[in-house]
Structure 1
Amino acid sequence: MGAFLCRIYHISNPPKLEPTNHTERKLKALRFGCLGAAKITPAVLVRPAHTHSEVVLYAVATRDAKRAEAYAKEHGFQKSYGGETGYQDLIDDPDVDVVYNPLPNGLHFEWTMKALKGGKHVLLEKPATNTAAEAAAIYALAGRKNLVVLEAFHYRFHPAVQRVKAILDSGELGAIKNISVDLTAPEGTAPEGDIRWSYDLGGGSTMDPGCYTVNVLRYLASSNPTAVLTARAIPYSPRPEHAQVDKTFWATLALENDIIGELHSNLSEPKIFGIIPRMPKLQARVQCEKGSVEIFNFLIPHYYHYITVKPKGKGKRRRVEKAYTFKGAAKGEEWWTTYRYQLEAFVDKVQGRTPQTWVEPEDTIANMKWVEAIYAKDGFGSRPASKYVYHEDAE
């Protein structure tokens, strides 16, 4: 309990950098510009930046100039841009090195392509795009311009999920047979009118929590699906505008090496008796030839998680593990969040260093391919492709 409370305190109140690091910050810092005033930005960028000597919160842009100014003041950005040209004005600022893009899914492609066109590295919220073709186009442009783009699957950078994969890769439990992943949110997490219920903006359960379940499945299996065997989804509401927006989905996938994957996500778990909010489901379970391993809270393990290993056989005992830091690593503290580990890796990559782990372009493209495949199987269809057209002669 003491360790838990200590983590909570440091997550909410990250230690300030030592004074000796401020000179280093001025010399090496990457200046981040943020598109929009998303609720997730403080957790993903603002608080982690306070403990990274090579990150400066430089600028923020929103469609409303007053909101941008207030957001900048509240979160410590040096500049703000607003109005109809606010996003582009931020990209055009020659002092911006990196663009953080947490805009609605349907705007990811357009503004990431524009940021790359402007010579900026991009930290891109997941899911990267509405379609696999758009993701491929982003990485093709980034490659031509020698720029870094990272799809922000933050959980991948934390020691907890990497420990689960290490157990599987060690061979201790034998070959993987089945992987099931659940990620749900209680009713009210995405209220009426939330962008996650907008088809045009790339909304839906398979796009939001669902893209995590696909990613966890592929990551732990160390392989890609070969087919979507079954898929079923329930629409957000019976209204025509929500006909293609899924509230919850279930899918069964076949993967390489005879692995079966079972996925479930729900953006709005109904309350018990209409009154009591349900606890979110955040589990990944792996059944193997010689036992099983399960992680509770793979999504935000920095608050609390546990890994349960159940080997089969005489004399084999069940054990519970936790992993908040990498053993023997020079970087990392027990209170570092998934986002802080992610920021460390992103900065390392941009600065030409080798990150502890990385989400490769092929990984992002494949993830979108299988999100689209699930939508094709359940009949809801892929989210609409962006109308933005990138012209090569504009480079």
Structure 2
Amino acid sequence: MLFRLYKISNPPAPKSGGVDPQERLNFGCLGAARITPGCIVEPARTHPSVVLYAVAARDAKRAEEFAKEHGFSKSFGGTAAYQDLIDDPEVDVVYNALPNALHFEWTMKALKGGKHVLLEKPATNTAAEAAQIFALAERKNLVVLEAFHSRFHPAIQRVKAIVDSKELGEIKHVSASLTAPTGTAAPKGDIRWNYELGGGSAMDPGCYTVNALRYLTSSNPTAVLSAKAVPYSSRPEHKQVDKILWATLSFGHDITGDIYTNLDEPKYFGVIPRMPKLFVTVQCEKGTVELFNYVVPSYYHYITVSPTGGRRRTEKAYTFKGAEKGEAWWTTYRYQMEAFVDKIQGRTPQTWIEPQDTIDNMKWIEAIYEKDGFGSLPSSKYIHQ
């Protein structure tokens, strides 16, 4: 584990020999977001085809400092920064890490500008917006990927393989949780507490839990049986911003699923931070399989298989057996980067998230919000022409 963690922090230089210069992809990042170093910068260090080309931010100083710190060649700042980056003919790929409410507008503009897009999750505020994005991408023959990085890692895929093998019989129930201690993922004043920017627990950790249930059951829900959300505060601007969410979904055939998310889990005795809840569990007819840390399993995880009346075993999966690509220290983002570049360059990626998968995930997040009474988040006012 220590060796793997060391390699994650100190990755080897990529093997650039044999890479056609025409295959190099210049990445431009919209927003100097906290997630960008992990999602783009670090994976780029070990991918010979990825070039950290530009970053854009409204604050010109912030953009310049971010570019210098992380090795981007160019920065754009000011009110026109995002469009300036898209208009740069040297940019091949746009990474959209802007607040959720801006995903639709700036992904559509990037596609209009002829750029492939790696789009942070959740893709949009509504399923209808996600459908428009992929319709335009298809017309323009461009690649858009919603960045559900955990789906690209061997750990969650191993759990699915165990479930699909029917070793434990048919699925009966699936549950997923994702929480964050107070002030960590969403400190006071964070965009995750802003309704107009697409904030809320169901939109942030919730999108992971819904996706995990849909992935492991290989199906979409048939109904939201129950949903309960707790608003961030009693202030009027937070009445539709959930900090805690519980929901129970039906997947038909007597299969149910539970999700629990909390962006503001209080400290023990007001001082001791709680450990995040990062479990996904599949209960089957003949036993259960559970994955700890399904979100970022590259750092550490374990898979526990518990057959009814049988011997429990623990597995770990950091690489794909027999695969030509992948190292035990590859992060979820590095596996995702490999797939994204493969898709752009016409190769078949090991894993892919299809457009309908993204659209359906947003559809059921909206359905949960409808059930709990919060209602869908506001649609973008941007109109594509």
TM-score, normalising length: structure 2:
0.98
1:167 is aligned to 162
C-alpha distance in structure 1 between counterparts of 2:350 and 2:253, whole Å: 27
Tell me how far 1:17 sits from its aligned partner: 2.1
1:344 is aligned to 338
Mapping 1:179-190, distance limit 5 Å: 179-189=174-184, 190=186
Q: Which deviates more from structure 2 when the two are superposed, residues 6-15 or residues 152-161?
A: 6-15
Tell me the amino acid that sits aligned with residue 38 of structure 1. A
2:384 is aligned to 390
Q: What is the CA deviation profile of residues 6-55 of structure 1, one whole-angstrom value per residue up to 9, with x for unaligned ones?
A: 1111111111124xx16626342111000010001000000100100110
Are residues 1:334 and 2:328 paired?
yes
Tell me how far 1:257 sits from its aligned partner: 2.8
Tell me how far 1:363 sits from its aligned partner: 0.3
Task: Report if the CA contact (8 A) 1:223-1:256 is conserved.
Answer: no
C-alpha distance in structure 1 between counterparts of 2:166 and 2:282, whole Å: 13
SS of the residue corresponding to residue 76 of structure 2 reads strand
Tell me the amino acid that sits aligned with residue 366 of structure 2. E
Mapping 1:198-209, distance limit 5 Å: 198-209=194-205
1:113 is aligned to 108
Mapping 1:303-382, distance limit 5 Å: 303-313=299-309, 316-382=310-376
C-alpha distance in structure 2 between counterparts of 1:112 and 1:146, whole Å: 14
Tell me how far 1:317 sits from its aligned partner: 1.1
1:135 is aligned to 130
Are residues 1:28 and 2:1 paired?
no
Tell me how far 1:272 sits from its aligned partner: 0.7
2:82 is aligned to 87
C-alpha distance in structure 1 between counterparts of 2:116 and 2:239, whole Å: 36
SS of the residue corresponding to residue 112 of structure 1 reads helix
Tell me the amino acid that sits aligned with residue 224 of structure 2. V
SS of the residue corresponding to residue 45 of structure 1 reads helix
Which of 48, 51, 73 is matched with 1:53 structurally? Answer: 48
C-alpha distance in structure 1 between counterparts of 2:352 and 2:23, whole Å: 22
Which of 284, 292, 317 is matched with 1:288 structurally? Answer: 284
Q: What is the CA deviation profile of residues 321-373 of structure 1, one whole-angstrom value per residue up to 9, with x for unaligned ones?
A: 00000000000000000000000000000000000011100000000000000
SS of the residue corresponding to residue 52 of structure 1 reads coil
C-alpha distance in structure 2 between counterparts of 1:115 and 1:347, whole Å: 17
SS of the residue corresponding to residue 209 of structure 2 reads helix
1:239 is aligned to 235
C-alpha distance in structure 2 between counterparts of 1:181 and 1:368, whole Å: 17
Q: CA RMSD in A?
A: 0.9
Q: What is the CA deviation profile of residues 117-174 of structure 1, one whole-angstrom value per residue up to 9, with x for unaligned ones?
A: 0000000000000000000000000011110000000000000000000000001011
2:259 is aligned to 263
**Structure 2 alignment gaps of length 5 or more:** none
Q: What is the CA deviation profile of residues 215-237 of structure 1, one whole-angstrom value per residue up to 9, with x for unaligned ones?
A: 00000001100000000000000
C-alpha distance in structure 2 between counterparts of 1:245 and 1:211, whole Å: 15
Tell me the amino acid that sits aligned with residue 58 of structure 1. Y
C-alpha distance in structure 2 between counterparts of 1:254 and 1:214, whole Å: 12
Alignment length, in residue pairs? 384
Tell me how far 1:88 sits from its aligned partner: 0.2
C-alpha distance in structure 2 between counterparts of 1:310 and 1:23, whole Å: 46
Give % identity: 74
2:13 is aligned to 16
Are residues 1:221 and 2:217 paired?
yes
SS of the residue corresponding to residue 150 of structure 1 reads strand
**Structure 1 alignment gaps of length 5 or more:** none
Are residues 1:196 and 2:185 paired?
no
SS of the residue corresponding to residue 157 of structure 2 reads helix
SS of the residue corresponding to residue 366 of structure 1 reads helix
C-alpha distance in structure 1 between counterparts of 2:224 and 2:260, whole Å: 13
C-alpha distance in structure 1 between counterparts of 2:243 and 2:199, whole Å: 9
Tell me how far 1:67 sits from its aligned partner: 1.4
SS of the residue corresponding to residue 251 of structure 1 reads strand
Task: Report if the CA contact (8 A) 1:129-1:368 is conserved.
Answer: yes
TM-score, normalising length: structure 1:
0.96
- Which structure 1 residue ranges, 4+ long, deviate > 4 Å from structure 2? none
Tell me the amino acid that sits aligned with residue 380 of structure 1. F
SS of the residue corresponding to residue 253 of structure 2 reads helix
C-alpha distance in structure 1 between counterparts of 2:299 and 2:105, whole Å: 34
Are residues 1:250 and 2:246 paired?
yes
Task: Report if the CA contact (8 A) 1:183-1:264 is conserved.
Answer: yes
Are residues 1:273 and 2:265 paired?
no
SS of the residue corresponding to residue 362 of structure 1 reads helix
C-alpha distance in structure 2 between counterparts of 1:188 and 1:172, whole Å: 41
C-alpha distance in structure 2 between counterparts of 1:346 and 1:111, whole Å: 19
Task: Report if the CA contact (8 A) 1:183-1:283 is conserved.
Answer: yes
Tell me the amino acid that sits aligned with residue 100 of structure 1. Y
C-alpha distance in structure 1 between counterparts of 2:24 and 2:47, whole Å: 9
